[in-house]
Amino acid sequence: MQSPKPFLAVLTVVGVLTSCAGPHAPDAPAEPTASDDAAVRFEQREITAESPDCDVESSPCARLRVVLAETVGGGTQEVRDNLDMYTRHWVVSRLREHLAEGVGRSTASIDDLAAAFLAQHRAFTVEFPDASADWSIEIVVNPVFSSAKVATLDLSTTSYTGGAHPNSRRQLVSFAVDGGQLLGAADLTADLDALTTVVERRFRDARGLAPDDDLEAAGFWFPDNRFTLPDNLGLIADGLLVHWDAYEIAPYSMGPITVEVPVDDLQGVVDRWLW
């Protein structure tokens, strides 16, 4: 199989809204180099917000940072719309997970949700003045692959609002550039069993498991003790990323698990047109 095309340049633009903090540069995507004009192009925009007294020692603090990836050209209008809608819906959904029921369900403004997060923290510190833990949410959307065929986003969130440890989530999504549809495992191959076998081999290698080692005995929670593919996967220039969040298939102590399957392993399994 020939090497995949390198991916298209990703522009970075920082705009700070509702910000009391100093400027932060968005996380840089993987070094983008490509010349295919049909690939989707992105700009990144940053939104930050924090409590007024975050710079005061021992003062309770809440901080929020969102880095959006917005399409600015390339591809079809349909795929650009779908990428932008998916990104905004994912970010808004993650913010809502941390907000009280008092926030109207129709509220879709990230700025409004950021303000509600700070207000919720302020109310919490008034009710529980001895609580000393700071709150934080960071949501980052990175375009990690863009070609004339596929655009892939890596969406992640890390948050802490009290408790034993921070929480994190990661979502990988690929969209077909020509039609705009989200690509699941069944869209990548005509042989899901073959794809599952390829990914399982890499999964076992990464965890130091032999082909016949029992998954449940190794601490994993797959249904019926059989390896299955998650919905959480995305195409990249070098192959396929497959991801499970903490608690999804194993205890928190094992952390999130990401498996990278190289292009050569996917030859004859994943449709070549995707690269």
The pLDDT score that the predictor gives to residue 166 is: 87
- Would you give the DSSP letter of residue 182? B
The C-alpha atoms of residue 124 and residue 95 are separated, in whole angstroms, by 17
Helix axes 77-96, 110-127, angle to 10 degrees: 10
Mean pLDDT check: name the lowest of 17-26, 190-199, 223-232. 17-26
pLDDT at 19 over 50: no
Q: Cβ contacts of residue 62 below 8 Å, gap of 6+? A: 50, 51, 54, 117, 118, 121, 122, 134, 135, 136
Q: Which among 16, 29, 23 is positioned nearest to 114, based on CA atoms?
A: 16
pLDDT band at 107 (very low <50, low <70, confident <90, very high): low
Tell which CATH classification among 3.40.1710.10, 3.40.50.300, 3.10.129.10, 3.90.640.20 matches the domain 185-274: 3.90.640.20
pLDDT band at 26 (very low <50, low <70, confident <90, very high): very low
Q: How do the domains of the chain map onto residue ranges? A: 11-176, 185-274
Q: Does the domain spanning 11-176 belong to CATH 3.90.340.10?
A: no
| Beta strand extents in the chain (DSSP E only) | 11-12, 41-50, 62-73, 135-146, 150-160, 167-176, 233-236, 239-244, 257-262
pLDDT band at 151 (very low <50, low <70, confident <90, very high): very high
Q: How many CB atoms lie within 10 A of CB 261?
A: 22
Residues 44-95: pLDDT tens digits?
A: 999 999 999 888 887 889 999 999 999 999 999 999 999 999 999 999 999 9
pLDDT at 269 over 80: yes
pLDDT at 274 over 90: no
The C-alpha atoms of residue 239 and residue 94 are separated, in whole angstroms, by 28
Ramachandran region of residue 208, left (φ > 0), alpha (ψ -120 to 50) or beta?
left
The pLDDT score that the predictor gives to residue 161 is: 87
pLDDT at 171 over 70: yes
The pLDDT score that the predictor gives to residue 273 is: 72
